Amino acid sequence: MRFRGGAVAALTAAAVVCVSCSSTVEGSPGPGMSPVNVADLKTGPYKPEPTEYEPDISSANDIRTIEARRMLNYIVHSYEVDPEIDLLGDIEFFWNAEWLVQSNTFPEKYKPAALNNNLVAGAYVSRINGDLRSRKKLIISALRFPTEAASKKAAVEFDQITNADPGRHPVPIDGHPGALTSSADDITGISFIAHGPYVIMVNAGVPQPNQSALADAIRRTISLQITRIDQMKSIPLDDLLDIPTDPDSIMRRALPEAPDYSDPFSGDLDFGAYEPSGELHFERNPADVRKAFDESGVDLVGRRGGIVYRTRDLEAAFRLQTALLEPGRDDEELPPPPGLPDARCLRLDSSDAVRLYDALCGVVYGRYVAVVVTRIPVTSRSATPLYQRAAAQYAILAKSE
């Protein structure tokens, strides 16, 4: 995926911040608390203080991207349809027909349908299961058009383009007679259905030819996605700029992009404030993280260079940190950064599909958990860049109160 920043007064050098409380204290922390002297943290090229988040909004496409990110909060999660489908393939945002087909998601042939009907915005998520011998997939996209008439026309044109390929046959979807669905082999099926000003696209795959199983996966996805769309408040494009870009200063609390351009990702298209449902699409283990979000009371997430999660309280924050930094079978736990004994860090066996990182650290301050990421070269064993990010992120949280 291709992606596209007032400081506050510094703490005194003698101040000690404890990770088991949400305030700055002088001197020695109380029993059971791990002391952190913010002034001693090694933050490398990063400013150890909050910075304002000022997104570049200079065109209609930038405004439409706001809508695309908002729509991600309402895209169905694949594990809700099939718990085995949980490996992230891609996340994309669309703001016009050009990017729909340039993003390596929709093939070029679909451009006319999006262009002719004035695609406004869209969000797209793909996931697969982990069994190469019994492959499953689920791709879900919601596309917004200017009117209900335009979405209906677009759905028909998308389906006609799909069926221009020889050998395809229709697949009926129980309960959704308006779903235009087809398959060439009963292993993979593509469906388009208009709902209000939106077109829902579902591309599902099952391990062997089985039209009934394929149709059932598409049916369940469409049913869930229609319900989510009905929960989404319709906002006129002219009013999208009224949406706060930094609600409750969640973005100000997050580490900005690396000043030395060393981030593993190449842009900031995913930067913004998300509801927990939207953030789940980026997570490695979405079903497990969903449970942790619920138990920890997560109500807001800010994605910047660092990712900041707001929980219910300090205890909940530590529970969430544990869930977010749960190692996979082949992942390697790294020691905590110098001066941050309660941080947790991992080196992943496989790189993240969206931000391309293979190492991450999670720090806790008050009710906030923050995760920072980097990519460690194969020939290097040094985690210094990751530790500098973690130190700077902790200092930012400590100075954000």
User: Does the pLDDT of residue 23 top 90, yes or no?
Assistant: no
Residue 12 is predicted with a pLDDT of: 26
Structure confidence at residue 401 as a pLDDT band (50, 70, 90): confident
Q: Give the pLDDT confidence of 162-177 residue by residue, as tens digits.
A: 999 999 999 999 999 9
Q: Give the pLDDT confidence of 340-367 residue by residue, as tens digits.
A: 999 999 999 999 999 999 999 999 999 9
Q: Give the pLDDT confidence of 139-158 residue by residue, as tens digits.
A: 999 999 999 999 999 999 99
Give the pair of three-digit tokens for residue 390. 């973690």
Q: Which of 24-28, 150-154, 381-385 comes out lowest in average pLDDT?
A: 24-28
Q: Give the pLDDT confidence of 219-235 residue by residue, as tens digits.
A: 999 999 999 999 999 99
Q: Give the pLDDT confidence of 255-314 residue by residue, as tens digits.
A: 999 999 999 998 899 999 999 999 999 999 999 999 999 999 999 999 999 999 999 999
Q: Give the pLDDT confidence of 47-99 residue by residue, as tens digits.
A: 999 999 999 999 999 999 999 999 999 999 999 999 999 999 999 999 999 99
Mean of pLDDT values over 210-214: 98
Residue 94 is predicted with a pLDDT of: 98
Residue 350 is predicted with a pLDDT of: 93
Q: Which amino acid is at 95?
A: W
This prediction has a pTM of: 0.90
Residue 24 is predicted with a pLDDT of: 37
User: Does the pLDDT of residue 16 top 90, yes or no?
Assistant: no
